[in-house]
C-alpha cells in the first residue's frame, strides 16, 4: 500500500506504508499544526517558499495563515476553556441553595 500523505505542489508521497497504516514511516507521526490530529497534507501557502506545516483533513491553512477572524475565534475558545477550568477547580459547587439558614445572620 502507498502512503496517502499529500505533499503540496509535489503530489502524494507514494512510499510504502507500515503494516495496514495509511501513511509511511515518515508521515505516520505527523500531526496537524492546528488541532493535533493525524496530518494528511501540508499547508499550501507560499510566498518565496512553501509553508509546509502539516495539516489534517479538516484544516485548509495552518495557524500562521488563517484569517484574523479565525485567530480571534481560536483565542476566544482558549480563553473560554481557561475560564471553565478555573471555575471547575476554584468554585465550591457543593453549596446548598435550598438551605435558607445560610443567609440568616444570627
- Give per-residue pLDDT as tens, 2-54: 999 998 778 889 899 988 888 998 898 888 888 888 999 988 877 777 788 88
Number of domains in the chain: 1
Does residue 101 form part of some domain?
A: no
pLDDT higher for 92 or 80? Answer: 80
Does residue 66 form part of some domain?
A: yes
Q: How far apart are CA 34 and CA 73, in angstroms?
A: 13
3-state helix, strand, coil split of the chain in percent (to 5) is 25, 15, 60
pLDDT digits (tens, 9 = 90+) for 88-103: 777 766 655 555 555 5
Owning domain of residue 84: 6-91
Does residue 31 form part of some domain?
A: yes
The count of C-alpha atoms lying within 13 angstroms of the C-alpha of 20, restricted to the half-sphere facing its C-beta, is 0
Does residue 19 form part of some domain?
A: yes
Does residue 29 form part of some domain?
A: yes
Does residue 98 form part of some domain?
A: no
Does residue 102 form part of some domain?
A: no
Does residue 99 form part of some domain?
A: no
Residue 12: enclosing H or E segment and its boundaries?
Answer: strand 11-12
Amino acid at each position: 500500500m502507498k502512503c496517502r500523505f499529500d505533499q503540496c505542489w509535489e503530489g502524494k508521497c507514494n512510499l510504502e506504508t507500515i503494516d495496514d497504516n495509511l501513511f509511511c514511516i515518515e508521515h505516520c507521526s505527523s500531526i496537524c499544526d492546528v488541532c493535533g490530529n493525524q496530518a494528511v497534507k501540508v499547508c499550501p501557502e507560499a510566498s518565496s517558499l512553501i509553508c509546509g506545516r502539516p495539516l489534517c483533513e479538516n484544516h485548509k491553512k495552518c495557524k500562521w495563515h488563517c484569517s484574523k477572524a479565525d485567530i480571534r475565534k481560536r483565542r476566544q475558545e482558549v480563553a473560554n476553556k481557561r475560564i471553565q477550568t478555573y471555575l471547575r477547580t476554584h468554585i465550591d459547587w457543593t453549596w446548598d441553595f435550598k438551605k435558607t439558614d445560610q443567609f440568616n445572620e444570627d
